[in-house]
Amino acid sequence: MSSQVPSPYGSSNGGANLADILERVLDKGVVIAGDIRINLLDIELLTIKLRLIVASVERAEEMGIDWWRDDPSLSSGARRRELARENERLRERIAALEEQEPREEIT
């Protein structure tokens, strides 16, 4: 059909991008409790990345999830703290803006 925007995670077969593949192999399919008990959602960093797949775009943005591609080398703990700080800063900024402007000024 229409061409896709090339990206690091772009399609490599049948128009399926990594998001399509992860969505299916991580989130769908039969769950068997193997002998190795890895709960995929226990994985701290992965959980956050997975939200990109399983959370709606708006929700992901609400949660401030766009930083992981900027610095993928950060440790998950550091990221989480960073994210909390960032959220705090955003909230402060929004509060300050709301004091100055009518509501529809804030996107």
Q: How far is the CB of 37 from another protein (least distance, A)?
A: 7
Q: Please tell me whether residue 25 binds another protein under the rule CB under 8 A.
A: yes
Q: Please tell me whether residue 14 binds another protein under the rule CB under 8 A.
A: yes
CA angle 29, 18, 15 (to 5 degrees): 100
Q: Please tell me whether residue 63 binds another protein under the rule CB under 8 A.
A: no
Helix (H, G, I), strand (E, B) or coil at 70: coil
Q: Please tell me whether residue 73 binds another protein under the rule CB under 8 A.
A: no
Query: What six digits make up the tokens of 72?
Result: 């993928």
- Say how far apart CA 51 and CA 59 lie, in whole Å: 9
- Say how far apart CA 96 and CA 107 lie, in whole Å: 14
Closest CA to 91 of 62, 66, 57: 62
For another protein, the binding residue among 49, 74, 82, 83 (CB under 8 A) is 49
Q: Please tell me whether residue 1 binds another protein under the rule CB under 8 A.
A: yes
Q: Please tell me whether residue 10 binds another protein under the rule CB under 8 A.
A: yes
Check the CA dihedral 70-71-75-77 and report its sign: negative
Question: Rule CB under 8 A: which residues touch another protein?
Answer: 1-2, 4-10, 12, 14-26, 28-32, 34-38, 40, 42-46, 49, 52-57, 60, 65-66, 69, 72, 76, 97, 102, 104-105, 107
